[in-house]
Each structure stands twice: as C-alpha cells, then as structure tokens.
Chain A
Amino acid sequence: MTSAREEILARVTSALGTDRQPPADLPQRARVTWDAGRTVDQFVETTADYRAIVERTVVNSLPQHIAAALAGASAASVIRPAGLDPSWLTGFPGTVLTDDHHTAYDLDSIDAVITAAAVGIAATGTVVLDHGPDQGRRAISLVPDVHVCVIRADQVVPDVPEATAALREAINERRPLTWISGPSATSDIELDRVEGVHGPRTLHVIIVDQDG
C-alpha cells in the first residue's frame, strides 16, 4: 500500500506532466531608500487610523509616557517581559509583574501588558513583534486588555517588503511573529467595523525618538 505522501506527490508529478520548465527567477520589488522623518509621520497617521492611541516621545520621557498611558487605560496591574528594561516602568504606581510562567488564567486577571517591538510599517500602521526578550512570549501581549507597545523611530520602515526583509533574521531563528494593526476588530456584523473583540481592546503605541 502506498502512503498518502507518496500518492499525493505522484499525483502532483503526473498532473504537471513531463516537459517542465525549471523555476524562473520571480520578479522582486526594487529595494527603496526612504526619508526616516516622513516615514514615522506616516506611521503615526496610519496607526491612528486604526483606532490605536499613538504618541511620540524621547527616551528620557518614556517612563512618564508609559505611566500616563497605563493610567489613561485605568490599568492597576501590568505584566512585562523579563527582557524589558525595568526602568521603563519606574513611573507606574500600580503592580508590576515580570512574566514567569503565568497561566492563561493568571494573564486574564492582569490589566495591561507592555512590550517593545521589532518593526513598524508606515504604509499600513502595523507593529510587528518577533517575541524577543523585550517582547515576551505571545500569550502575554494577547490576554490582557491593554497593550502598550514601545517602538523606536528607527524601527519604522515604509512598507511590507522592507518589513519582511527586516524580519528575515527572526524567521531564520524560527521565532514566532505577531503583526498587529490597531486593536482587535471585526466586520462580521453587516460589515460594519467594531473595535475590541478577543484581543486587547486598547492598543497604545509609543514611538521613541533617540535623544538629540
């Protein structure tokens, strides 16, 4: 008896016939150079378009902005990835937990999460997490209802092709990726968009410019 694998591959091979061309070089979009300032401006605009709260600050003021963001979302507790700079939360008066094998039920009782990011995409208003040490495992940025995401201005790229290029290394390391564009949403009811379904209902993106 042939295995399913052998049979399916044989079906494919016979469907494709004998005169097969070798794979062609697929057209690739030309790499672009971009104006960093304009790209970040566009990122602010497109991220806000998707009902995320978005603001810009400089490194020195980051702790105040994070504290204000959490206060604005009425968060009394926040979870942080172990690799995130602890000084970021020095302005926050509430409970700070460092991720340590919390169960999904534990996470469900925590108000907010703070993460860094890997890449931002200006054309689409997207932040991408590669779940490195300063972003933590996937569950922590999913279950709490408020996600504060800090991204450096130099991590923002113009469009998807530049983003996939920047993420190649993370993929080679077999890291999971999460692409986030605004808070969770649905258009399933009469195709009217509603924000806030299962994922965080509040996404607060803070863009950090390096101090001059």
Chain B
Amino acid sequence: MPKFPSMARDGLANTQQRRNLQHATHTIRSKRATVVDEVPDWEELRVRGAAVKDQVLAHLDDYLVQLEASLTASGATVHWARDADEANRIVRDLVQAKEVDELVKVKSMATQEIELNEALEEVGISAWETDLAELIVQLGHDRPSHILVPAIHRNRSEIRDIFREEMGAVGTPAPDGLTDEPTDLAEAARRHLREKFLRAKVAVSGANFAVADTGTLVVLESEGNGRMCLTLPETLISVVGIEKVVPTWEDLDVFMQLLPRSSTGERMNPYTSMWTGTTEGDGPQEVHVVLLDNGRTSVLADEVGRQALRCIRCSACLNVCPVYERAGGHAYGSVYPGPIGAILTPQLRGTSSPLDQSLPYASSLCGACFDVCPVRIQIPELLVHLRTQVVDEHRGGRPSAEGVAMRTASWMFADHRRYEKAQRASTMSSKLLGERTTLGRLPWPASSWSGARDAPAPPRETFRQWWVRTHGSESR
C-alpha cells in the first residue's frame, strides 16, 4: 500500500467525500460538545476511565484468567487466538459445525481487523453485516472509513443508489421509488434485514467490554440490529480483543457514561445488551468467546505506547481531527483510521511497511484529539514517540537525505557560532534579492512548501545582529 500522503491526495481530490465528511464530523462534534458540557464531573470521569484501563493493562494476565473462569462458569466456551488466522479458523470451524452457510453480524472492529468476512467467504459462508452503515459498505463493495459510522464518506443519494442496485442480489430488494430520505433508507434496511434476522442460526459479534469478575459481555448499539443478533440465533460467537476487559461490574459505570456521550453525542445510546454466558430459555444456548491478541501484546510491551490499548473505540478523535476530516478514512490503510489509527495501526502491525511508517506523521500534532479522548490517551505524545521509533529503526542503515539534513542541522545548532555562520548566508541571499519580501516558486525540496504558499524572503538583518547593533555584544 502507498504511504499516507499519496493516499490522502485521493481523499483530498474527492470533493463529494470532502463535503460529506465535513458535514458529518462537524455535526457530531457539536453534538458531543453539548452532551459533554452537561456533565459536571466529566474531567473526573475521564481520569477514572483512564485509571481503570491502566489497571487492567498493568495486570492483564490476571484479569484474562479471571475473565475466562467467569465466562466458563456462566456457560460460555472460551477460545484464545494468537493472531487473525487463528481467530478466523476458530470461528470458521464453529460455524461449519452448525452446518449453515450464512450468519448475521453485529458491527465489530475486531472482526474487521482480522478480515473474518473474507475468511468465511472463502469457505462459502455469507456473513451478513446488519449495522446500517456496515450494510451500506458491504452492499457497495466498499471499505469502512470511520470507526463508528463506517459509511460516513457516503451521502444519502449515494446510499439510495447502492440500495437500489445491490439489495436485490442478496435478499429483499429495495422498494420501488425509494427516495433518499434517511427515514426511507432506514426502513428499506429494516425490510431487507428482517428476514435474515428471523432465520439466522448463528451470529457473530464483538464486545465493547468484558467484565472479569462476572463474565458479562457488553455491546452498545443504536439500531436494534445488535439485539437481533445477540438474542434470536441459537449460537453466538463473540470475538473480543484482550484489552476489552474491565475488572469489575462496578467499573463499568464510568464507561457507560463516557462512551455514548463521546461516541454518538448522546446521553445514552438507544440499546445496550449485556449477557453473562447462557440463560435458559432466553437467547443463544451456545455462547463462544474468542479472546484475540493479534498484536495487542506487542503494544502492551511498549510502556509508552501501551496507552493506545485504553481506547474504547468511541471515534471522538476522528470527529475532531482536521487531517481525518480532509483526507478521509481510507487514506489510513487500516480499519482504524484517524488519530487513534495513526498510533494503533503501526503498533499492532509494526512499522516495517512504508504505509505504517508514514502513519505517525499523518498529523499536525494539533492536540484536538487528546482533549476529546474519554480515556485521556496522549495521542500527540504517542505520535511523536512512534516517529522517534521509526527514525530509530533506520539508524545504522543507509542514511536518508532527511536523516543527513537533520544531523547536519543539529550539529549546526549545537554551537551558536556555527549557527551564526549559517545565518550570514541567509542574510547574504536576502541582500541579493533586493526589495522582495516573498519568494515565488522554489525548486525541490522547497517546492513542497512553495507549490501553494509564498515563502518569506529572509530579512537583511537577523534579530541577533540587530541586538548586537543596538544593545552591544554582551547579552545585557
């Protein structure tokens, strides 16, 4: 995959997507601000949320063992998956044992991350996405571009066209004369999916939280598709990242306050399902939980980078990010776009590919993401931390042009006499420029600046020359 800057160019050129994203991110960001301002102890909640997550991460092995015991005692079967392939194999075997060729899915980042749908498709199993946005993405043969609203890059007319063209091939077709009114589109999705919900034998979900002391899994949603999947089928398989654990039932309250307000900008999301293993006569009688590593233990091994595992996937950072808003989610080349993606993806996957090396640089370090993060992940600090890691990994190899320039500049700045010598060159060039105050287009590499921006011409006298002239060469 190409690096972020060239992928971002595609996003920048897509004017419809730019418009859609601007509208959507500004809408959600102001909703969030309104409901967060209602909570007098919001800052205290953020601190508590971060503390709970840090506690989990600091004792993750103990909590995982406790979670496993609680789940098993409540009638669930626990599986462990080191990586995507292993998780996909576990799910595939469980589904095939049920002799079905389809299942319904609750929106889940973990299953996207491991590309479960594709793995199931290879063995002839259709995994139907049931979240409206995931449905739009799936029917449109598209990729998600946002954690919360995967089809954020689409507007209502585009969605209507996708429904009209694609629904009939996989089930109940879109009604004749479907308009692009969101209520009509939601109704079309309801009709299309209802038959799938009623006949489904197997469902796959993720989980927002897994409570260690009780074995309770938690899924927050809005549409009711989650409840359908978690309630009607006979078999439920949940793929859960190992960082999703919270220690006790009592620790859940802080997240039930932080997540809805941060995520959808609501006081509470419409539906939350909590289930503890199996319940006789109610819901799936066979419940599986797949605990997924897939790079999370590598993130855990970095004491600074570990913070990224606090993430509760609320997407508030995406919604305030000026880079995400313009480049769009696909530019990040991962299921985790935006600021959290820029720190999580290179840690989960490592920084060996050019794309993953470019992700920590996909930020102006403006800091808006930290301010809205409900678990206070220091995203700007982590971005710098990962940039340092990328540079460090290249030390000792063939020096890059940038590396040479940086080392030279550092040497120059390390002694003010060398620095003053370099300054003289700049004031000399200024004298050659005559009366000009700005420069036009410059040759490479300065062209990346001057392509769209005038560059200032250096002054004829530096500040320190002025100081020495007016105040003498002593510092006083």
Contact = CB atoms under 8 A, between A and B. Distances in A.
Interface string B176-201: 00000011011101100110011000
A197 B132 contact: yes
Interface string A1-42: 001110111011111100011011011110000000000000
The CB with the most chain A CB atoms within 10 A, among B249, B251, B253, is that of B253
Interface in B278-293: 279, 281-283, 291, 293
A26 B51 contact: yes
A62 interface: no
Chain A contact patch, size range? 35 or more
A154 B133 CA distance: 39
B270 A182 contact: yes
B205 interface: no
Chain B contact patch, size range? 35 or more
B152 interface: yes
A16 B54 CA distance: 12
Contact of A165 (B65, B216, B250): B250
B155 A179 contact: no
A181 B270 contact: yes
Interface in B248-299: 249-254, 256-257, 260, 264, 266-277, 279, 281-283, 291, 293, 297-298
Nearest to B23: A190
The CB with the most chain B CB atoms within 10 A, among A20, A29, A121, A200, is that of A29
Contacts of B256: 160, 164, 179
Interface string A172-212: 10111111111111111111101011111000000000000
Contact of A188 (B133, B231, B300): B133
Interface in B212-256: 214-216, 222-225, 227-228, 230-232, 242, 247, 249-254, 256
A198 B193 contact: yes
A71 interface: no
A191 B82 CA distance: 36
B21 to A, nearest CB: 10
Contacts of B61: 9, 12-13, 16
Contact of A28 (B185, B227, B250): B250
A85 B61 CA distance: 47
A104 interface: yes
A24 B55 CA distance: 8
A35 B149 CA distance: 38
Contacts, number: 241
B132 to A, nearest CB: 4
B60 interface: yes
Contacts of A49: 267
Given A8-B82, A160-B256, A199 B223 contact: yes
Nearest to B131: A188
A4 B82 contact: yes
B58 interface: yes
A139 interface: yes
Interface string B446-457: 000000000000
B461 interface: no
Given A105-B198, A197-B132, A26 B52 contact: yes
Interface string B58-91: 1111001100100000100001111000100000
B369 interface: no
Contact of B20 (A50, A124, A181, A190): A190
Nearest to A180: B271
B103 interface: no
B64 A12 contact: yes
B429 interface: no
Interface string A158-177: 01110111001001101111
B151 interface: yes
Interface string B156-187: 10010000000000000000000000110111
A186 B250 contact: no
Contacts of A28: 250
A54 to B, nearest CB: 15
Given A124-B268, A191-B149, A11 B223 contact: no
Contact of B222 (A123, A165, A176, A187): A187
A20 B59 CA distance: 8
A24 to B, nearest CB: 7
A171 B214 contact: yes
Given A8-B293, A9-B61, A186-B222, A197 B189 contact: yes
Contacts of B264: 187
Contacts of A180: 270-271
A8 B80 contact: yes
A117 interface: no
A9 B64 contact: yes
Contacts of A4: 79-82, 86
Interface in A60-85: none
B301 interface: yes
Given A5-B80, A12-B242, 19 more contacts: A15-B300, A16-B59, A29-B41, A50-B270, A131-B279, A138-B230, A138-B273, A139-B232, A142-B232, A174-B214, A174-B277, A177-B272, A181-B270, A188-B132, A189-B132, A191-B152, A196-B183, A197-B222, A197-B225
Interface of A: 3-5, 7-9, 11-16, 20-21, 23-24, 26-29, 46, 49-50, 104-105, 108, 121, 123-126, 131, 137-139, 142-143, 159-161, 163-165, 168, 171-172, 174-192, 194, 196-200
What 8 pairs across the A-B complex have the smallest Cβ distances? A199-B224, A198-B224, A124-B268, A11-B297, A179-B272, A197-B223, A137-B282, A15-B301
8 contacts: A16-B60, A137-B283, A164-B252, A165-B250, A171-B214, A174-B74, A179-B271, A185-B270
Interface of B: 20, 23-24, 27-28, 41, 44, 47-48, 51-52, 55, 58-61, 64-65, 68, 74, 79-82, 86, 130-133, 136, 149, 151-152, 155-156, 159, 182-183, 185-187, 189-190, 193-194, 197-198, 214-216, 222-225, 227-228, 230-232, 242, 247, 249-254, 256-257, 260, 264, 266-277, 279, 281-283, 291, 293, 297-298, 300-301
